[in-house]
Amino acid sequence: MGGQVSTVRPFSLPMRQALKYWAAKIVLDADDFYRLAEDLRGRAFTVGALARANMVNDVYSSLGRALEQGSSFGEWKKSIADVIQASGWDRRRAELIFRTNVQSAFQAGRWKQMQAVKRARPYWRYVSVQDARTRPSHAALHGKVFHADDTFWDTFYPPNGYQCRCTVQTLSERQVEQYGYEVDAGIPGPTLVTDPRTGMETVISPFPDRGWETNQAKEAWTADLSKYPDWMRERLEQVV
């Protein structure tokens, strides 16, 4: 593959589209959330195993403020210290909630932005963080380029798992030619991946983590509300 365009740095500034995506979520208890089909859950928010129902609203509101203010994990954690203590969360659990939700909101906002420039930049490049924390199935997608409308993105648009740090770059036709990128189509086949810790090579069949096989960003912005159960559709109609 040819040269590399610079990678996208998530979370550097609040994004209007990410905030709008977050504000349109419906807060649900865990039972109602898991009653929804997986491809409809991007419109909802829950946190399982909280001691009190109002804590779900507290966590949702605190994450919205963190998005708006560009807060770090440490700053957010301090803002809901009472909830964390009452729930018995360790650092790993709290960080998973923070990073997964912030990343989901960022990527939903980015999807909206990329749609707006799709005519001028019709190709999207999958970018994973190439370090020891990156899951092999996500690393296997790094650098792959697809047309913005390719069905690949219906399954693989990030995040593709809890604490997934992957993102997407837009490319113009000229950049694809300049850097010598090959444009793929559809679900990719087995891919050779090098482990950054050991240097060993492994053949991986890329696929999102279980439960993350849908494009929640696309669903959030283009949802057909008739697909939702009546009890949720009525609430969505009030916020959409």
Residues 59 and 83 occupy one common structural domain: yes
Residues 128 and 107 occupy one common structural domain: no
**Domain for residue 216, yes or no?**
no
Structural domain harbouring 75: 16-112+221-239
Residues 178 and 226 occupy one common structural domain: no
* pLDDT of the residue at 240: 63
**Domain for residue 44, yes or no?**
yes
Q: Quick one: three-class SS letters along the chain?
A: CCCCCCCCCCCCCCCHHHHHHHHCCEECCHHHHHHCCHHHHHHEECCCCCCCHHHHHHHHHHHHHHHHHCCCHHHHHHHCHHHHHHHCCCHHHHHHHHHHHHHHHHHHHHHHHHHHCCCCCCEEEEECCCCCCCCHHHHCCCCCEEECCCCHHHHHCCCCCCCCCCEEEEECHHHHHHHCCCEECCCCCCEEEECCCCCCEEEECCCCCCCCCCCHHHHHHHCCHHHCCHHHHHHHHHHC
Residues 88 and 138 occupy one common structural domain: no
Residues 151 and 199 occupy one common structural domain: yes
* pLDDT of the residue at 7: 42
Split at pLDDT 50, 70, 90, the class of 107 is very high
CA distances from 81 to 76, 127, 172, 206, 225 (A): 9, 34, 45, 38, 36
Residues 203 and 127 occupy one common structural domain: yes
Measured in whole angstroms, how far is the alpha carbon of residue 12 from the centre of its chain? 16
The domain tally of the chain equals 2
Residues 122 and 59 occupy one common structural domain: no
Measured in whole angstroms, how far is the alpha carbon of residue 59 from the centre of its chain? 18
Nearest CA among 75, 101, 102 for reference residue 10: 102
Residues 67 and 121 occupy one common structural domain: no
**Domain for residue 10, yes or no?**
no
Residues 105 and 132 occupy one common structural domain: no
Residues 117/168, Cβ–Cβ less than 8 Å? no
Residues 109/101, Cβ–Cβ less than 8 Å? no
Average pLDDT, the chain: 89
**Domain for residue 9, yes or no?**
no
Residues 106 and 20 occupy one common structural domain: yes
Split at pLDDT 50, 70, 90, the class of 11 is very low
**Domain for residue 29, yes or no?**
yes
Residues 87 and 146 occupy one common structural domain: no
Residues 122 and 192 occupy one common structural domain: yes
**Cα angle 196, 201, 205; round to 5:** 105
**Domain for residue 32, yes or no?**
yes
pTM score, two decimals? 0.86
pLDDT at residue 2 greater than cutoff 60: no
